[in-house]
Amino acid sequence: MAVITLVFVQVYWINNAMMLRQANFERSVGEAVSSAIIRLEKSEGMMIPETPLIIEKNLTYNLIDSLLNDELNKKSISAKFDFGIFSTEREYFILAPENMNPMDLLENAYAFELFPEDGRMEPDYLMLYFPNEKGFLIKQMAWLLIISIALLLIIIFSFTYTILTIYRQKRISEIKNDFINNMTHEFKTPISTISLACQALKDSDVTKTTEVYDAYIGVIGEENIRLGAMAEKILQSAVLEKKQLELKKEWFDIHEVIQDVVSKIGIQVQIKDGSIQTNFRADPSEIHADKVHITNLFSNLLDNANKYTPHKPKISIDTRNVTTGIMISITDNGIGISKKNQKKIFDKLYRVPMGNLHDFKGFGLGLSYVKVILEYHKGSISLESELKKGTKFDVFLPYQS
């Protein structure tokens, strides 16, 4: 409201300044024309004419034009003008510019009585018209207008920037809180499992056999690896954030990497009574890239495809050659992503809102990691998705970035 009020005040001030400038202009024009008429009376020894015929015979257009120019310049009025002399007795212009419609003079011009001391009932009038009067007045106020408009724009820009900054900070705060909640939830499970396993090993009532020891130590080891993987993912994200990632590129077969990831993820898919199908059509299929990060990239995508397909996941992986690289398409029959959320899915820490449910684990780092790794390799990723029908990711990797 304060900004809007300030804008209206500024506009009101500009309008008032314009009206004041207009009034000063009219006064200056009146004074200049009065002086010109007085000089006209005295020029060439002319006396006050008795009839309009004397005006017709003795006054010339050039003489009046010269006098008006001289007097207007004294008032610092350099605007272009046209003029004519209108006889009220004859009801027509006895002197007017050839290239101008007389009606423009009658409707828009300033009217000044010629030779007012003559005292005639039907005097002649000098009609003075400025075609570009508004432009001249605006030009006179140019610096004031520029400063005013600049201030208005600065105020509007500052206000908009402030609101957007507040909104972004609010959004960052929400994302941070969601991330902390997700991280707490994710770390809590393995920590609790490790804690329970340790307590069981300490419990005197539990029979300590080699099999029991091995079982509990195996659980502790698995959960410890899981914790390490989650911590590594967070640290990896921090490295990407600082743009400190150094790629170790080598030539390798992309099909072998995908097949290796499929063999690891495939067990989790089979547990849910699902399957992964591969259709490798790319030939050649070798690329020059960082093998570790490319492996992680496909691990994230396949893990998401499995994670977000609650029942009987059907995942297909297709590869084909394009002009400068390989296109890999990963399709699932999962819950899908709405159009609204598709625009943000690659943002760091962003997770599709699920209300108060926590059915799907993760930090919201996977897809942002995928996008950054592809950017490092001069690749790209796009998606097609529909709610409750599944998602398709198209990953492009150049042969050599």
SS3 at position 43: helix
**Between these two residues, 400 and 246, which has the higher pLDDT value?**
400
Question: Residue 76: is its pLDDT beyond 60?
Answer: yes
- Angle in degrees, 0-180, between the axes of helices 210-241 and 366-376, rounded to the nearest 10: 50
Residue 269 in tokens: 């898919």
What mean pLDDT do residues 292-298 have? 87
Q: What is the mean pLDDT of the chain?
A: 80
- Angle in degrees, 0-180, between the axes of helices 133-140 and 2-42, rounded to the nearest 10: 120
| pLDDT, tens digit (0-9, with 9 covering 90-100), for 124-145 | 888 888 888 888 888 877 787 7
Residue 220: which pLDDT band, with cuts at 50, 70 and 90?
confident
Percent of the chain with pLDDT over 90: 15
Please name the amino acid found at residue 219: V
**Between these two residues, 126 and 254, which has the higher pLDDT value?**
254
Contact call for residues 29 and 160 (beta carbons, < 8 A): no
Give the Cα separation of 351 and 51 in Å (integer): 93
Residue 59: which pLDDT band, with cuts at 50, 70 and 90?
low
| pLDDT, tens digit (0-9, with 9 covering 90-100), for 10-51 | 888 888 888 888 899 889 988 988 888 888 777 644 444 444
**Between these two residues, 281 and 54, which has the higher pLDDT value?**
281
| The pLDDT of residue 57 | 43
Give the Cα separation of 377 and 157 in Å (integer): 37
What mean pLDDT do residues 92-111 have? 77
| The pLDDT of residue 185 | 66
Give the Cα separation of 205 and 75 in Å (integer): 111
Q: Which long-range contacts (CB under 8 A, 24 or more apart) does 69-77 make?
A: 70/36, 71/32, 71/33, 71/35, 71/36, 71/39, 72/29, 72/32, 74/32, 74/35, 75/28, 75/29, 75/31, 75/32, 76/28, 77/25, 77/28, 77/29, 77/32, 77/136
Question: Residue 244: is its pLDDT beyond 70?
Answer: no
**Between these two residues, 161 and 97, which has the higher pLDDT value?**
161
| The pLDDT of residue 286 | 93
End-to-end CA distance of the chain: 53
| The pLDDT of residue 357 | 45
Sheet of strand 124-129: strand arrangement? 92-95, 82-87, 124-129, 110-113
Distances 292 to 67, 252, 262 between C-alpha atoms, Å: 90, 11, 15
| The pLDDT of residue 235 | 62
| The pLDDT of residue 356 | 46
Question: Residue 384: is its pLDDT beyond 60?
Answer: yes
380-386/390-398 β-pairing: antiparallel
Contact call for residues 398 and 289 (beta carbons, < 8 A): no
Question: Residue 229: is its pLDDT beyond 90?
Answer: no
Question: Residue 245: is its pLDDT beyond 80?
Answer: no
Contact call for residues 364 and 352 (beta carbons, < 8 A): no
The domain over range 144-241 is classified in CATH as 2.30.110: no
Max CA distance (Å), the chain? 139
| pLDDT, tens digit (0-9, with 9 covering 90-100), for 166-197 | 998 888 787 777 667 666 766 777 788 888 88
Residue 192 in tokens: 């609790």
**Between these two residues, 181 and 93, which has the higher pLDDT value?**
93
Give the Cα separation of 79 and 130 in Å (integer): 7
| The pLDDT of residue 46 | 47
| The pLDDT of residue 47 | 44
Residue 379: which pLDDT band, with cuts at 50, 70 and 90?
very high
Nearest-5° angle of CA 367, CA 345, CA 233?
Answer: 30
Contact call for residues 306 and 267 (beta carbons, < 8 A): no
Give the Cα separation of 11 and 13 in Å (integer): 5
| The pLDDT of residue 89 | 77
- CA quadruple 182, 184, 189, 190: dihedral sign: positive
Contact call for residues 376 and 247 (beta carbons, < 8 A): yes
Q: Where in the chain is the domain with CATH 1.10.287?
A: 144-241
| The pLDDT of residue 317 | 94
| The pLDDT of residue 238 | 60
Q: Give me the helices (H) in 43-83, please.
A: 52-58, 61-74
SS3 content of the chain, % helix, strand, coil (to 5): 55, 15, 25
* CATH number of 249-398, picked from 3.40.190.10, 3.30.450.20, 3.40.50.300, 3.30.565.10: 3.30.565.10
Please name the amino acid found at residue 373: I
| pLDDT, tens digit (0-9, with 9 covering 90-100), for 333-378 | 988 888 877 777 877 666 665 544 445 555 566 788 888 889 889 9
Give the Cα separation of 337 and 205 in Å (integer): 50
Distances 281 to 53, 118, 277, 319 between C-alpha atoms, Å: 103, 105, 13, 5
**Between these two residues, 342 and 398, which has the higher pLDDT value?**
398
| The pLDDT of residue 350 | 63
Secondary structure letter of residue 355 according to DSSP: T
Collect all residues with Cβ–Cβ distance below 8 Å to 39 and sequence separation of at least 6. Answer: 67, 71
Question: Residue 252: is its pLDDT beyond 90?
Answer: yes
| The pLDDT of residue 51 | 44
DSSP string, 205-252: TS---HHHHHHHHHHHHHHHHHHHHHHHHHHHHHHHHTT-----EEEE
Question: Residue 225: is its pLDDT beyond 90?
Answer: no
Closest CA to 317 of 204, 394, 205, 238: 394
| The pLDDT of residue 118 | 61
Question: Residue 58: is its pLDDT beyond 50?
Answer: no
Question: Residue 318: is its pLDDT beyond 90?
Answer: yes
